[in-house]
Amino acid sequence: MATQYDAISDAQRSFIEAQHLYFVASAPLDPGGHVNTSPKGMDTLRVLGPNRVAYLDLTGSGNETSAHLRENGRITFMFCAFDHPPQILRLYGTARVILPDDEDWEALAPLFTMIPGARQIIQADIHLVQKSCGYAVPFMEYTGERDTLLKWAEHHGDDGLLEYRDKKNTRSIDGMLTDLGERGLRAAEV
């Protein structure tokens, strides 16, 4: 049975920080819209306090989370233990996108290593933490990070990334405008 908490405990923070992989989910209000779940890694998540987390969001094939957050702010994070002891931890909250020209960027960006392809920071206020068993999650062994995205971003360079974001990151698959689309791509230069 799941257990719910109103904040991230020290033990839960340690669990979160030990994970090499986490998932982010968001959805539009339109029941016909697409729910999005994205795997994340590369040491991009920071626990900022008992009710706040942030992650460095990298350029990808889409930007669904940004579009959904602009509309309704809802976000869910999921962390799974792939070794002992089994556990699943979910963080429920509301979030916003922070672009490099935003006032909060200067305070948050130094918390991260700026990875090639970084496009924005997602900061979330957490109102519910849920812990569940994870008994059915398989054992998996961590063997290292992929460098494919880093090489891809370095190959494209700053101008190539801006061009790519203009084509792939300004609207969701449902046609919703993202923060990059609304405010212009030049704001997202890191």
Query: Which pLDDT tens digits describe the chain residue by residue (190 residues)?
Result: 799 999 999 999 999 999 999 999 999 999 999 999 999 999 999 999 999 999 999 999 999 999 999 999 999 999 999 998 999 999 999 999 999 999 999 999 999 999 999 999 999 999 999 999 999 999 999 999 999 999 999 999 999 999 999 999 999 999 999 999 987 755 555 5
Q: Which fold has domain 3-135+145-181?
A: Pnp Oxidase; Chain A (2.30.110)
In angstroms, what CA-CA distances link 115 with 12, 44, 48, 137, 141?
Answer: 26, 9, 19, 30, 24
Quick one: tokens of 32? 């016909």
In angstroms, what CA-CA distances link 18 with 14, 72, 85, 109?
Answer: 6, 30, 13, 21
Domain ranges of the chain: 3-135+145-181
Distance of CA 60 to the CA centre of its chain: 12
Distance between CA atoms of residues 78 and 98, nearest Å: 21
